[in-house]
Amino acid sequence: MALKRGLSSAGVQRNRASGSRFPVAILIFFSLLVPLIFFVGRGLHISDQNDILSSPGEKNVDWRERLALQHVKSLFSKEVIDVIAANTNDMGPLSLDFFRKNNLSASWKVNGEKTSITDKINFTAVDARQETPKVKVDVSSGDHAQLVDPAKLARRQLREKRREKRANELVQQDDESIVKLENAAIERSKSVDSSVLGKYSIWRKENENENSDSTVRLIRDQIIMARVYLSIAKMKNKLDLFQQLQTRLKESQRSVGDATADADLSQSAPEKIKAMGQVLSKAREQLYDCNLVTGKLRAMLQTADEQVRSLKKQSTFLSQLAAKTIPNGIHCLSMRLTIDYYLLSPEKRKFPRSENLENPNLYHYALFSDNVLAASVVVNSTVTNAKDPSKHVFHLVTDKLNFGAMNMWFLLNPPGKATIHVENVDEFKWLNSSYCPVLRQLESAAMKNYYFKADHPTTLSSGASNLKYRNPKYLSMLNHLRFYLPQVYPKLDKILFLDDDIVVQKDLTGLWAVDLHGKVNGAVETCGESFHRFDKYLNFSNPHIARNFDPNACGWAYGMNMFDLKEWKKKDITGIYHKWQNMNEDRTLWKLGTLPPGLITFYGLTHPLQKSWHVLGLGYNPSLDRSEIDNAAVVHYNGNMKPWLELAMTKYRGYWTKYIKYDHPYIRSCKLSQ
């Protein structure tokens, strides 16, 4: 139980402001109380709670005491009188000195679990001889009493007050912090941009939008709704409204034109928007029908979807067309070099160090290309990053059209101490239709019909499939010459084949030290994803393919391949290639290209190289890891976005352009720039 100030039954209040220990009212109160306590202490026993004057001890009470008892009865309740009587019987009368000595107010009271005063208050008699007075507190929940120092009780009370005050402050701080958070959230919500949902109406411009094309989109939306209501107005014979809509529609179309941003619009655009909004509002009031509007919008959506598909086909067709053609600058370069080459005397057309061409102890490269600029990058990047360029030999093969240009470029720009030699594929007399199945097929009427006429529409809307068959590389022997390396270079033991769309970034001599474990081809595998496996390139519904190959076998990359020409000859790789080419004359095993026959020819004969030797995808994949590109020995621009084309990805083009001498007079005159 805790002590609280104030004796409620007597209505006594402690005077906090004055600081006086015994106010006058309290002294008067105790002057009346003392006689009562005195005679009760003498042995008076109050047994009848209803009438105190009818007590058996009434005859021993003089007239003063009876008068006091009468006053007491009017002042105190029965419960207070019972408490006084009980404590007086047990421990003697209460002493007023107890309160004076301990500087405590007589207004203290003890609170327990119940509100009854008889259950909460017990005052102990105080012996005046004691140095430290004690208060006996009867704990209602227990059977025993304990003595407590009033000073300690006062200190405890103060501590409890401080704790309660601190708790209230903390609660108040929590409430304040919650209010602050709520206010901050409200402020943030006010600043949230709702532009995602759109800040404009197709009827009128209600709010400004931060997007640079918001006005353009508003006009286009108005045009769509105008077309809807135009058809409904015509259907319902609303000729006046039809004319108004038609007029505003033409004005809005002229206003927006080909604009893609608000800055492209004319100054009269806001007026056109306002006028169109007024007509649309009028049309909505007169013509709006949910079913009709929904049907018209659905029909327009279907038409737009068909147009998008058609445009995608045309875009794919044109992108492939751009990828397979030679830019004007490169064509100009080739023509100028060709003219200058044939103006040279025969003795000036020869390259130095021709004795290295058949030396098997040197590092030999095979490069087959009709692109002068691309071939120059391959050679320049390889020599630049070689530890000892004098040990590197480049074997270039091109067609008759670009033979002079290739020679002239490397005569003007020799690759340092490296050896280079250029040949014309049309001068390989052994490469004829009687020996080569591909040449025989290309010369046949059926193949010409397959490539150019049969089932191949000529319009752009037909899409990209037609262009695949017209790709010049499928008709050029430069593309198929890779299957005849031992015939082209009979004196060599190993040769590194390079495509003309690669860039060399490190010294490649370590590839000649790689143990191929008896395999013919060393290449980087490309089976990280399902579309790089055999079933992507070969027709496994054909029994010849299904019986001999695993559809889940890993593909590998052409573009940087180390070929062991000794093992090639032992295993008759060219004969295997001829066998499968003859079986595919009707194109039932694979359709086009050199990778499918390469996968078949070198099946089980390819040794996987570490992926850091060769990184692919710079011509089609915009999400390659930059660190993989930087750490690769060779980067390959396989795909349509070749680095010499305008459609090349800008983020990858720098790896290629840094090996071009843009200050060369031929390059400047042909307007080739970064």
Which pLDDT belongs to residue 1? 38
Token pair, residue 93, equals: 């009368």
Q: Which helix (H) or strand (E) holds 373?
A: helix 372-384
DSSP for 465-497 reads HHHHHT-GGGT-HHHHGGGGHHHH-TT-SEEEE
Whole-number Å distance between alpha carbons of 407 and 372: 9
Whole-number Å distance between alpha carbons of 475 and 527: 28
Which pLDDT belongs to residue 169? 78
Which pLDDT belongs to residue 355? 93
Which pLDDT belongs to residue 326? 81
Higher pLDDT, 577 or 305: 577
Whole-number Å distance between alpha carbons of 414 and 418: 8
Higher pLDDT, 620 or 201: 620
Whole-number Å distance between alpha carbons of 39 and 93: 9
Average pLDDT over residues 312-339: 84
Q: Which of 72-76, 143-147, 151-155, 469-473 has the lowest mean pLDDT?
A: 143-147
pLDDT in tens, 184-206: 767 766 655 444 444 445 554 44
Which pLDDT belongs to residue 455? 52
Which pLDDT belongs to residue 194? 45
Average pLDDT over residues 286-303: 86
Residues 6+ apart with CB under 8 A from 248: 226, 272, 275, 276, 279
pLDDT in tens, 646-668: 888 999 999 999 999 888 999 99
Residues 6+ apart with CB under 8 A from 272: 219, 248, 251, 252, 255
Evaluate whether 478 touches 399 at the Cβ level (below 8 Å).
yes
Beta pairing, strands 521-523 & 606-608? parallel
Helix, strand, coil shares, percent, the chain, to 5: 55, 10, 35
Average pLDDT over residues 259-278: 85
Q: Which of 32-46, 125-139, 191-205, 442-456 has the lowest mean pLDDT?
A: 125-139
**Which of 233, 226, 236, 232 shows the shortest CA–CA distance to 280?**
226
One-letter identity of residue 192: V
The separation between the first and the last C-alpha atoms of the chain, rounded to the nearest angstrom, is 93
Split at pLDDT 50, 70, 90, the class of 40 is: very low
Q: What are phi and psi of 274, to 5 degrees?
A: -65, -45
Residues 6+ apart with CB under 8 A from 659: 376, 377, 380, 381, 384, 503
The strand ranges marked E within 594-656 are 606-608, 614-615, 634-636
- Taking phi over 0 as left and psi of -120 to 50 as alpha, with beta for the rest, 334 belongs to alpha
Higher pLDDT, 369 or 170: 369
Evaluate whether 41 touches 93 at the Cβ level (below 8 Å).
yes
What's the 3-state SS for 37-81? HHHHHCCCCCCCCCCHHHCHHHHHCCHHHHHHHHHHHHHCCHHHH
Higher pLDDT, 97 or 180: 180
Q: Which residue blocks in 588-649 are alpha helix, DSSP H?
A: 595-601, 626-631
Which pLDDT belongs to residue 84? 60
Whole-number Å distance between alpha carbons of 656 and 644: 9
Give 646-649 contacts, CB < 8 A, sequence gap 24+: 646/322, 646/327, 647/319, 647/322, 647/323, 648/619, 649/618, 649/619, 649/622
Which pLDDT belongs to residue 588? 86
Q: Which of 15-29, 161-175, 599-613 has the lowest mean pLDDT?
A: 15-29
Counting Cβ atoms within 10 Å, is residue 73 exposed (0-12), middle (13-18) or buried (19+)? Answer: middle
Tokens 């695949």 belong to residue: 468
Higher pLDDT, 175 or 214: 214
Average pLDDT over residues 244-263: 85
Beta-bridge partner residues of 267: none
Which pLDDT belongs to residue 125? 38
Q: Judge whether residue 51 has pLDDT over 70.
A: no
Report how far apart, in Å, the C-alpha atoms of 514 and of each of 63, 96, 246, 599, 610 are: 133, 113, 75, 21, 10
Evaluate whether 78 touches 72 at the Cβ level (below 8 Å).
no
One-letter identity of residue 114: K
Token pair, residue 143, equals: 């059977």
Residues 6+ apart with CB under 8 A from 57: 43, 44, 45
pLDDT in tens, 487-545: 999 999 999 999 999 999 999 999 999 999 999 999 999 876 545 788 888 889 989 99
DSSP-based three-state secondary structure for 399: coil
Split at pLDDT 50, 70, 90, the class of 12 is: very low
Q: Judge whether residue 104 has pLDDT over 70.
A: no
Which pLDDT belongs to residue 41? 46
The strand ranges marked E within 76-170 are 108-111, 135-138, 145-148
Average pLDDT over residues 375-400: 96
Evaluate whether 479 touches 496 at the Cβ level (below 8 Å).
no
**Which of 667, 658, 56 shows the shortest CA–CA distance to 332?**
667
Average pLDDT over residues 422-447: 85
Q: Where are the domains of the chain?
A: 215-323, 328-670
Burial code (b: 16+ CB inside 10 Å, e: under 16) for 157-188 equals eeeeeeeeeeeeeeeeeeeeeeeeeeeeeeee
Q: Which of 265-274, 423-432, 637-646 has the lowest mean pLDDT?
A: 265-274
Q: Judge whether residue 628 has pLDDT over 90.
A: yes
Counting Cβ atoms within 10 Å, is residue 413 exposed (0-12), middle (13-18) or buried (19+)? Answer: middle
Whole-number Å distance between alpha carbons of 525 and 527: 6
Q: Which helix (H) or strand (E) holds 330?
A: helix 328-342
Query: Domain 328-670 - what CATH class?
Result: alpha beta
Percent of the chain, pLDDT > 90? 34
CB neighbourhood size of 24 (10 A): 9
pLDDT in tens, 137-173: 444 444 444 556 788 888 888 888 888 888 787 777 7
Which pLDDT belongs to residue 117? 39
